[in-house]
C-alpha cells in the first residue's frame, strides 16, 4: 500500500484510547510526510501508528506493559512492519452476528468490511477499548461485498462521534481516517477508498446473541453472555469455568443493563434531534454507545416525523419512532436470551457448561416461556429511564432545575418547522431579556426570525404558539428565582451554536478529494467545541 495518502487524526479520542500514544500532527496532506525522512523516536512512533491505522501492519505483536497494553507497539523502535513482528498466536478478527433489519429477520450478517485489531485497557481509567479498522478489506462475512469503505462515509463517521461526544451522548469514536487515492470503490459512482480506525468499549451488539439463538447454538450463547457480563460489564461474581460452585444469574441482569444504557443514549438523541437512520438490532451496541454511523442526520427544521434515511420508506426509524425501536430491539434481546433467563428464574442460578446444549426441546420451551415474566418489568424500566433522562437533558437545555413532559411537548409543537438548533440557541438569551423587561411578543418574534428558513411556517398561528409557550416557560424561570445571567451562561453550554448538518459533511468530503485537509480540521474543531461563539468565516457553517 502506498504512503501516498491523506491521514486524518483525532487528537482527543487517540488519548481516550491510550493516553501514552504519541502520534504527531493531526493531519498529513497528500504526498510523503516528513516523518518518512526522520529517524527520531517520535517519528518512529508516528510511522508505526500510521502503518497500523492504515492496515499495512495489521498483524502486530501487542505486548502488555505496566503502563498499559499496546504501549510497546507505538513506542518500540522495531515495531514497524507486520512481517517483522507477527506473533503466531495473534490475528485480527471479525464479528459474526445476525439482525432484524427493518423489522424482519435477516439471518447471518457480520462484519463484512471491519476487523478488530486489539482490546486494550486505558491505564488512566481502567476502561476497556476495542480497536477496529473499517474498510480494511473482505472478511468471512463480506458475502458479495468488496470489504471497502468510501472516503465520504469514513469522514462522516470521523466527524459525527466528535460532535456527539461534545453533546454528552455515548458514542464510539474515530481515531483516524486514512484515505487511499490509488484505490477506487464502486458504489453509485466511483469513490476514493478510505480506512477508518475506530474505537468503542465493545463492538458487540444485540445481533451477536440473536445469531446463536436462531441457530440453537446454546453453548455459544452461554459463553458469550458470561464473557459480556464478566469482562465488558465487569461483574466479577459471574462464574465462567467448570465446577460445582453456585453460578449467580446474569442473563436478565444483562438485558436490564443493555436496556437502561440504550435508554439513556436514545433519550439524549431525542433531546438533541439526532436520528440514527438504521436502528436494526445489528446496530444496537450492548454498551449503549452510538455505533455504525450510516445515513444519520441532525434535525434541521423540527419535525417529529423526520426521516434521515432515504431508504426508510415507511418511516420505521423516523425521529418519532426511535424510542419505540429501542423497545423492539430489547425485546429481541430477551427473545435471544430467553432460555437462559428462564433457566435462571426456575433454578435460581445460571446454567453450567453443557446444560443448555443437552437440554430437550421441552426444556428449552419451558425456560423460554418462563422468561416472559421479565418482559414487562424490563420494558417499564427502559421507559422510565428514557423519560427521566429526556426530561433531565431538556431541563438543562431550558435552564431549568426541572422540566416536565408537558412543557417539552408543547415546546416541540411550537417549534415545528423552525430550526431546532437555532431556536434553542436563541432561547439562551431569554432569561436576560426577561430580566430587562423585554415584551414577550418581541422575544417570540425574535426567536422565530432567528430560527426561520424559507420552508418555515412563521404566520400568526406560529407566533401565537411560541408566545403562549414562552409565557409558561418564563413563569417557570421566574419561579425558580435564579440569577438570569448565570442561567443564560449555563444554557449556552447545553445548546450548541454549531450543528453538523449533512451538507457540511458532504462539502468536507468533496474538498478532501482535492486534498484540502484544512477545511476538515476546521469542521472537526467546531464539532469538538459546538457551544463556542463561532464567528467570521465560521458563520457560513452555522447558518
Residues serving a catalytic function are 282
Evaluate whether 128 touches 231 at the Cβ level (below 8 Å). Answer: yes
CA separation for the pair 341, 268 (Å, rounded): 29
- Pick the closest to residue 303 from 415, 453, 164, 395 (CA basis): 415
d(CA 535, CA 166): 19
Check residue 315 and give left, alpha or beta (phi > 0: left; psi -120 to 50: alpha): left
Buried b (16+ CB within 10 A) or exposed e, 306-338: bbbbeebeeebbbbebbbebbbbbbbbbbbbbb
Locus of grid cell 480506525 = 197
What residues contact residue 489 under an 8 Å CB cut-off, 6+ apart?
Answer: none
CB 192 within 8 A of CB 184: yes
Q: Are the C-beta atoms of residues 273 and 89 closer than 8 Å to each other?
A: no
CA dist 320 → 317, 417, 458 (Å): 8, 15, 23
The CA-CA-CA angle for residues 485, 488, 493, to 5°, reads 130
Which of 425, 169, 421 has its CA nearest to residue 299? 421
* Separation of alpha carbons 143 and 370, rounded Å: 37
Q: Rounded distance, CA 15 to CA 23, Å?
A: 10
Instruction: Calculate the CA 433 to chain-centre distance.
Output: 37
**Closest listed residue to residue 5, CA positions, set 133, 236, 193:** 193
Amino acid at each position: 500500500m502506498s504512503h501516498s495518502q491523506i491521514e486524518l487524526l483525532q487528537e482527543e479520542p487517540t488519548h481516550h484510547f491510550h493516553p501514552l500514544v504519541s502520534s504527531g500532527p493531526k493531519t498529513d496532506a497528500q504526498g510523503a510526510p516528513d516523518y518518512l525522512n526522520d529517524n527520531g523516536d517520535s517519528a518512529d512512533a508516528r510511522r508505526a501508528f500510521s502503518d497500523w491505522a492504515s492496515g499495512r501492519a495489521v498483524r502486530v505483536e501487542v505486548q502488555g506493559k505496566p503502563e498499559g497494553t499496546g504501549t510497546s507497539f507505538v513506542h518500540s523502535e522495531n515495531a514497524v512492519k507486520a512481517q517483522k513482528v507477527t506473533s503466531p498466536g495473534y490475528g485480527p478478527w471479525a464479528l459474526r452476528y445476525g439482525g432484524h433489519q427493518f423489522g424482519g429477520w435477516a439471518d447471518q450478517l457480520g462484519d463484512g468490511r471491519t476487523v478488530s485489531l486489539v482490546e486494550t485497557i486505558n491505564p488512566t481509567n481502567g476502561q476497556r477499548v476495542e480497536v477496529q479498522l473499517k474498510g480494511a478489506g473482505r472478511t468471512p462475512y463480506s458475502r458479495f461485498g468488496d470489504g471497502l469503505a468510501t472516503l465520504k462515509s469514513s469522514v462522516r463517521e470521523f466527524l459525527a462521534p466528535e460532535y456527539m461526544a461534545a453533546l454528552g451522548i455515548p458514542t464510539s469514536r474515530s481515531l483516524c481516517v486514512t484515505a487511499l487515492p490509488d484505490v477506487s470503490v464502486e458504489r453509485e459512482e466511483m469513490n476514493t477508498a478510505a480506512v477508518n480506525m475506530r474505537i468503542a468499549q465493545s463492538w458487540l451488539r444485540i445481533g451477536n446473541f440473536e445469531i446463536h439463538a436462531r441457530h440453537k447454538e446454546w453453548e455459544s450463547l452461554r459463553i458469550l453472555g458470561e464473557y459480556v457480563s464478566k469482562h465488558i460489564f465487569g461483574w466479577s461474581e459471574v462464574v465462567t469455568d467448570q465446577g460445582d460452585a453456585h453460578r449467580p444469574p446474569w442473563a436478565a441482569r444483562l438485558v436490564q443493563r443493555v436496556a437502561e444504557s440504550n435508554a439513556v443514549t436514545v433519550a439524549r438523541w431525542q433531546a438533541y434531534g439526532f436520528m440514527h437512520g438504521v436502528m436494526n438490532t445489528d446496530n444496537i451496541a450492548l454498551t449503549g454507545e452510538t455505533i455504525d454511523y450510516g445515513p444519520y442526520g441532525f434535525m434541521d427544521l423540527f419535525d417529529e416525523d423526520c426521516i434521515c434515511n432515504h431508504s426508510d420508506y415507511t418511516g420505521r426509524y423516523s425521529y418519532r419512532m426511535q424510542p419505540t425501536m429501542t423497545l423492539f430491539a430489547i425485546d429481541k434481546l430477551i427473545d435471544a436470551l430467553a432460555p437462559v433467563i428462564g433457566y435462571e428464574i426456575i433454578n435460581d442460578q445460571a446454567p453450567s457448561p453443557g446444560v443448555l446444549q443437552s437440554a430437550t426441546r421441552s426444556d428449552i420451551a419451558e425456560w423460554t416461556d418462563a422468561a416472559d415474566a421479565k418482559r414487562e418489568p424490563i420494558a417499564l424500566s427502559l421507559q422510565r429511564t428514557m423519560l427521566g433522562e429526556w426530561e433531565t437533558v431538556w431541563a438543562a437545555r431550558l435552564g431549568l432545575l426541572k422540566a416536565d413532559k408537558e412543557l417539552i411537548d408543547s415546546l416541540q409543537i411550537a417549534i415545528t418547522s423552525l430550526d431546532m438548533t437555532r431556536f434553542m440557541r436563541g432561547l439562551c438569551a431569554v432569561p436576560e431579556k426577561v430580566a430587562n423587561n423585554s415584551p414577550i411578543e418581541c422575544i417570540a418574534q425574535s426567536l422565530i426570525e432567528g430560527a426561520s428558513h424559507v420552508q418555515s411556517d412563521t404566520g400568526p398561528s406560529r407566533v401565537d404558539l411560541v408566545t403562549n409557550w414562552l409565557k409558561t416557560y418564563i413563569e417557570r424561570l421566574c419561579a425558580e428565582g435564579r440569577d438570569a445571567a448565570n442561567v443564560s451562561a449555563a444554557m449556552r453550554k447545553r445548546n450548541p451554536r454549531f450543528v453538523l448538518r449533512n451538507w457540511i459533511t458532504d462539502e468536507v468530503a468533496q474538498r478532501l478529494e482535492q486534498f484540502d485537509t484544512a477545511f476538515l480540521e476546521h469542521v472537526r474543531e467546531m464539532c469538538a467545541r459546538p457551544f463556542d461563539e463561532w464567528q467570521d468565516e465560521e458563520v457560513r457553517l452555522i447558518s
